[in-house]
Amino acid sequence: MNTHPILQFLNEAQQNAVTCDAPALLVLAGAGSGKTRVLVHRMAWLISECGLSPHALLAVTFTNKAAHEMRGRIEDLLGRPAGAMWVGTFHGLAHRLLRAHARDAGLDENFQILDSDDQLRIVKRVVREMGLDENEWQPKQAQWFISARKDDGQRPQDIKHNGDLFTATMTSIYSHYEQACRQSSLVDFAELLLRAYELLRDNEHLRTHYQNRFRHVLVDEFQDTNAIQYRWIKLISGNTSAITIVGDDDQSIYGWRGAKIENIHRFQQEYNDSETIRLEQNYRSTSTILQAANAVIANNNDRLGKNLWTSGDQGEPISLYAAFNEQEEARFIASRIQDYVNQGNNYRECAILYRSNAQSRVLEEALLQRGMPYRIYGGLRFFERAEIKDTLAYCRLIANRDDDAAFERVVNTPTRGLGQKSIEVVRDIARNHKITLWQAASKVVEENLLPARARNGLMTFQELVANMESETGEADLHELIDFVIEASGLLEMYLKEKGEKGLARKENLQELVSAAREFDIDQYLYDTELEAEEAGLPESADGESGLPVMEDEMPPLVAFLSHASLEAGEAQAEKYEDSVQLMTLHSAKGLEFPVVFLTGLEEKLFPHQMSMDDIDGLAEERRLCYVGITRAMKKLYLLHAEKRRLWGKETYPSISRFVREIPSSLIEEVRLNAQVSQPMFGTSSLMDSDQGPEGFQLGQMVEHPKFGHGVILNFEGSGPQARIQINFESVGPKTLVLAYAKLEPVMA
């Protein structure tokens, strides 16, 4: 056992991962195996033992939370600030690159970032301006199309539609949308990544610079990377930098968002000198819980393979409860939590997880009824609130009059007599002259193209924005925002809202001012830190190559606006109160709780209807289930309802296949009168493997005499009753009685 301080308290696999000197390292880290710890310790190791400067490290994560945590922990470990180290999210780092080299990236210095809300507005406008029917060509769908293509690295000209009307139209919308963004100097989230990639790809000078600078690139949650992120990582690390990726193929749950689980396989192929280290010892859960998780995930194909184990106790059995309906499910949970808390524990140790947000209401009601405190994750975040976005829209116009998204948002907020008609006139002018809305508005005013009232409204608006700028020329950021809130009339408008709402909005606006004040200070501290670090590093290539360092001259307002888009803030406050935690399975990833309730374990709900028809969707649902199970430390409850109201209709769902994939020996069924017994559901349906009755396997390709080829999705029952669900290429999913189905396996 190595006793180096950095390696203390790490197990052997963790130590190997920290000290590995292969040029490319893949760490397959199971749930609860100390993934972040390894990453942080490896960075500390590289700095203190391998002599790398913090300047030469690049660490990438997906969420701001993870990035902050990583930076904090590495600074703790090193005992000093690591300002010069690039630690951030893909989007944050891409943004940083684009700010530093805006010109080379073909962007305006003052470009701003669109969040998905703003993006949708622009897409909507584009669709309308193209004269397309919004019902036939839904903006939401177009937005999705554009993002998906960008995530895949495709520009409109790269897309081949082969006469396909859908693709052709969508591509055309994409193209028009791009133009609109360019005109307004706006960049959406996917664009940040794509643009940053293209910047390095097309600019050899910059590429070489960054490849030389970053001697070691580390990526967290690698299973969540999309195509363009992978390519960006490859490009920036070049052929000479070392690379460490950490991930877990079994926890890939964002395939629907463009994440490519195959990137892990690709990495192994493309870096043929790579080494793979598995972290399989789990420090979180009881062995019962781990066995259940392992059994479920074993039903997936194409895994890299990994078996979690623990040296800990077997712990309590998993409780399975069949509720009458969703209300009863909720009441049961509430009463169990009550019992748990009465034994001297805290609410915050309990988490209720569900597949879709719609399920949360009934759960909330049950908790409310008992007066139990709870907190829901997800929902509107601070910078997404209407009042905040309105205020920031004014700020964006101060920084850049050509920001059409901001213009549209507040040109008539608060109302100043500009209805749809008037705005339509402005839009027309803008489109016909290929100018921005602000420029078009000026033209409308000058040439008197609108009735007096509307014309006055436009003039007032333009003067208002101009005044805001001149009045606050020398002011600090928070003073500017304070001024905008007042002068725009937004405060007055919101205070008129009835009930508590107006007051809450006012508080949020005040909160925005304090956020701006803190941002001023942070920004100042960060800059000085950075300079100090850079100055102390003579080997830095920045000076001699004439490349700008970072954030050299970003105006505070532009910096703050970017910050607001990139870090939407916490979803809900009051996080210090002891409360039950409610969230979707997706948002539970990365968290852990002593007691976990997995709700709605029913076919069509979990696995969800929309993911049931193909084997990939099903595999992702199963991974989601794996994530859910592995959140639990001590006690896991599985719940399903026999009757559930779904969209106003009563349904009688059957128990989720995932429950049946857990060995029955790990489960005890909770009966209504609180007695406990062994599981009762059909002895044979509780199968401990993915083996079908006749040796067929889930995901296997089979041939049916009538329906042709299809993939096996599920088995139900056994004996003469046994049925099998297959997704046929010709007719889609079908459930057949196995005994009559005359299936033949098909060799791949």
Active site residues: 35-36, 220-221, 251, 631
* Residue 475 assigned to a binding site: no
Residues in the chain, overall count: 748
Instruction: Using CB under 7 A, pick the residue from 9, 161, 240, 256 that binds DNA.
Output: 256
CB closer to DNA, 334 vs 566: 566
Task: Calculate ∠ Cα 578-287-602, nearest 5°.
Answer: 70
Do the strands 667-670 and 86-89 form a parallel or antiparallel pair, or are they unpaired?
unpaired
Examine residue 134 and tell whether it contacts DNA (CB under 7 A).
Answer: yes
Least distance between DNA and beta carbon 357 (Å): 3
| Interacting positions 136-155 with DNA (CB under 7 A) | none
Residue 529 has φ and ψ, to the nearest 5°, of -55, -45
Residue 285 has φ and ψ, to the nearest 5°, of -110, 165
CB closer to DNA, 355 vs 635: 355
Q: What CA–CA distance (Å, rounded) separates 461 from 463?
A: 5
Positive or negative, the Cα torsion across 116, 117, 119, 120? positive
CB closer to DNA, 412 vs 700: 412
Examine residue 566 and tell whether it contacts DNA (CB under 7 A).
Answer: yes
Which part of the chain contacts DNA (CB under 7 A), choosing from 233-241, 272-280, 388-396, 582-590?
A: 582-590
- Which tokens sit at 681? 């559901």
* Residue 351 assigned to a binding site: no
CB closer to DNA, 4 vs 124: 124
Instruction: Using CB under 7 A, pick the residue from 247, 315, 317, 617 that binds DNA.
Output: 617
Examine residue 648 and tell whether it contacts DNA (CB under 7 A).
Answer: yes
Do the strands 580-584 and 374-376 form a parallel or antiparallel pair, or are they unpaired?
parallel
CB closer to DNA, 257 vs 671: 257
Instruction: Supply the DSSP symbol for 377.
Output: -
Least distance between DNA and beta carbon 136 (Å): 10
Pick from 534, 537, 645: nearest CA to 600: 645
User: Taking a C-beta distance cutoff of 8 angstroms, is the pair 444, 425 a contact?
Assistant: yes
Check whether the bond before 414 is cis (ω within 30° of 0). yes
Residue 536 one-letter amino acid? G
| Interacting positions 73-92 with DNA (CB under 7 A) | 89, 91-92
Least distance between DNA and beta carbon 552 (Å): 21
Least distance between DNA and beta carbon 518 (Å): 19
Residue 612, number of CB atoms within 10 A of its CB: 18
Residue 198 one-letter amino acid? E
Least distance between DNA and beta carbon 304 (Å): 22
* Residue 31 assigned to a binding site: yes
Residue 500 one-letter amino acid? E
CB closer to DNA, 6 vs 392: 392
User: Taking a C-beta distance cutoff of 8 angstroms, is the pair 131, 158 a contact?
Assistant: no
Least distance between DNA and beta carbon 15 (Å): 30
Pick from 504, 502, 471, 501: nearest CA to 488: 471
Instruction: Using CB under 7 A, pick the residue from 48, 53, 64, 212 that binds DNA.
Output: 64
Least distance between DNA and beta carbon 569 (Å): 8
Instruction: Using CB under 7 A, pick the residue from 189, 267, 461, 637 that binds DNA.
Output: 189
Examine residue 161 and tell whether it contacts DNA (CB under 7 A).
Answer: no
Cα separation values, 513 from 495, 584, 656, 701, 709, Å: 17, 32, 49, 60, 62
595 CB contacts (<8 Å, ≥6 apart)?
Answer: 337, 340, 349, 350, 351, 632, 633, 634, 635, 636, 637
Examine residue 733 and tell whether it contacts DNA (CB under 7 A).
Answer: no
| Interacting positions 450-509 with DNA (CB under 7 A) | none
Which part of the chain contacts DNA (CB under 7 A), choosing from 305-313, 338-346, 642-650, 714-722?
A: 642-650
The residue with tokens 């028009």 is 176
- Which tokens sit at 648? 């106003």
- Which tokens sit at 472? 């606050």
Pick from 607, 604, 576, 635: nearest CA to 333: 635
Residue 93 has φ and ψ, to the nearest 5°, of -70, -40
Examine residue 708 and tell whether it contacts DNA (CB under 7 A).
Answer: no
395 CB contacts (<8 Å, ≥6 apart)?
Answer: 480, 481, 484, 557, 560, 561
Examine residue 417 and tell whether it contacts DNA (CB under 7 A).
Answer: yes
Q: What CA–CA distance (Å, rounded) separates 200 from 206?
A: 6
Least distance between DNA and beta carbon 51 (Å): 32
| Interacting positions 310-369 with DNA (CB under 7 A) | 355-358, 361
- Which tokens sit at 260? 């490519």
Examine residue 697 and tell whether it contacts DNA (CB under 7 A).
Answer: no
Check whether the bond before 607 is cis (ω within 30° of 0). yes
Examine residue 63 and tell whether it contacts DNA (CB under 7 A).
Answer: yes
Return the half-sphere exposure (C-beta side, CA atoms, 13 A cut-off) of residue 514.
Answer: 7
Least distance between DNA and beta carbon 116 (Å): 4
Pick from 197, 188, 186: nearest CA to 225: 197
Q: What CA–CA distance (Å, rounded) separates 189 from 187?
A: 7
Examine residue 626 and tell whether it contacts DNA (CB under 7 A).
Answer: no
Instruction: Using CB under 7 A, pick the residue from 179, 307, 346, 415 that binds DNA.
Output: 415
CB closer to DNA, 68 vs 155: 68
CB closer to DNA, 369 vs 691: 369
Q: What CA–CA distance (Å, rounded) separates 336 from 326?
A: 15
Examine residue 375 and tell whether it contacts DNA (CB under 7 A).
Answer: no
CB closer to DNA, 211 vs 611: 611
Question: For residue 560, what is the enclosing H or E element?
Answer: helix 556-566
CB closer to DNA, 9 vs 256: 256
Instruction: Supply the DSSP symbol for 659.
Output: H
Least distance between DNA and beta carbon 669 (Å): 28
- In terms of phi and psi (left: phi > 0; alpha: psi -120 to 50; beta: otherwise), the region of 524 is alpha
Check whether the bond before 679 is cis (ω within 30° of 0). no
User: Taking a C-beta distance cutoff of 8 angstroms, is the pair 249, 266 a contact?
Assistant: no
Examine residue 9 and tell whether it contacts DNA (CB under 7 A).
Answer: no
* Residue 160 assigned to a binding site: no
* Residue 569 assigned to a binding site: no
500 CB contacts (<8 Å, ≥6 apart)?
Answer: none
* Residue 35 assigned to a binding site: yes
Instruction: Using CB under 7 A, pick the residue from 265, 501, 575, 645 that binds DNA.
Output: 645
Give the torsion through C-alpha atoms of 247, 253, 256, 260, to 10 deg: 20
Examine residue 62 and tell whether it contacts DNA (CB under 7 A).
Answer: yes
Longest dimension (CA), the chain: 83
- In terms of phi and psi (left: phi > 0; alpha: psi -120 to 50; beta: otherwise), the region of 261 is alpha
Which part of the chain contacts DNA (CB under 7 A), choosing from 541-549, 629-637, 641-649, 708-716?
A: 641-649
Instruction: Using CB under 7 A, pick the residue from 116, 167, 345, 654 that binds DNA.
Output: 116
Examine residue 741 and tell whether it contacts DNA (CB under 7 A).
Answer: no
CB closer to DNA, 144 vs 340: 144
Examine residue 568 and tell whether it contacts DNA (CB under 7 A).
Answer: yes
Instruction: Using CB under 7 A, pick the residue from 535, 549, 610, 672 that binds DNA.
Output: 610
CB closer to DNA, 62 vs 267: 62
Least distance between DNA and beta carbon 597 (Å): 16
Interaction mask 214-253, DNA, x per CB under 7 A? ---------------------------------------x
Least distance between DNA and beta carbon 668 (Å): 29
Q: How many residues bind DNA (CB under 7 A)?
A: 45
* Residue 496 assigned to a binding site: no
Instruction: Using CB under 7 A, pick the residue from 69, 104, 108, 115 that binds DNA.
Output: 115
Which residues are annotated as part of the binding site? 29-36
Which residues are annotated as part of the binding site for ATP? 29-36
Interface contacts to DNA, rule CB under 7 A: 62-65, 89, 91-92, 115-116, 134-135, 189-190, 253, 256-257, 355-358, 361, 377-378, 412, 415-420, 566-568, 583-584, 586-587, 608, 610-611, 617, 621, 645, 647-648
